[in-house]
Amino acid sequence: METKAVIHKFILDELAKGRKKNISEDEDLLGEGIIDSLGILQLVAFIEEKFNYTVPDEDVVIENFMSVNAISNYLDQKLVK
């Protein structure tokens, strides 16, 4: 699965479970309460395990985590290097 699909699936199946049936790729995940502050920690832990990449604290910011698109863009950039 490509990065975007993996992230999308995790958010939909794990973090938004029972609260939301569909999430569009540019939907505001945090502002709309789809992910809360615990969800962010789970998401970061998931990324670190799945992609074997440690996300620095200073990268866990709105620009990189506001939507499925933002997260996958961020990871695509980091994972090539």
Partner 1 sequence: MKYRYLLHDGVFENAASAPSQVAIRYMREELTYQQLAEKSAQLANYLQKAGVGRGDRVGIYMNKNIYSAVAIYGILTAGAAYVPLDPFAPTERLSFVINDCGIKFIITNESKSEQLSEIIKQTQLSGLIGIQNSPEIKIPATSWEEIFTLPSSPPLLSLVEQDLAYILYTSGSTGTPKGIMHTHRSGLSFAEWAVQTYQVNSTDRISNHAPLHFDLSTFDFFASSIAGATTVIIPEAITKLPASMAKWIQDEKITIWYSVPFALIQMLERGNLESKDLSSLRWILFAGEPFPTKHLRTLMNKLPWVKFSNLYGPTETNVCTYYHVPLLSPDSDEPIPIGVACENIEDIVVDSNGNQLPEGEIGELLIRGGTVMKGYWGRPDLTEKGFYRRPVFGYCEDIFYRTGDLVQKLPDGNYKFLGRKDRQIKTRGYRVELDEVEAALLSHPIVHEAAAYPVPDVEGSNLIEAAVILVEGGNLSEDDLIKHLSGRLPNYAIPAKIIISDDFPRTSTGKINRRELQEIALTRNKS
- Report the C-alpha gap between 19 and 13 in whole angstroms: 10
Contact region for partner 1 (CB under 8 A) — 8-16, 32-40, 46-54, 72-80? 32-40
65 vs 71: CA distance, rounded Å: 5
Task: Pick between residue 12 and residue 39 the one whose CB is nearest to partner 1.
Answer: 39
CA distance linking residue 16 with residue 29, whole number of Å: 10
Q: Out of 6, 28, 46, 78, which residue is the one contacting partner 1 (CB under 8 A)?
A: 28
List interacting residues with partner 1 (CB under 8 A). 28-33, 35-42, 45, 57-62, 65-66
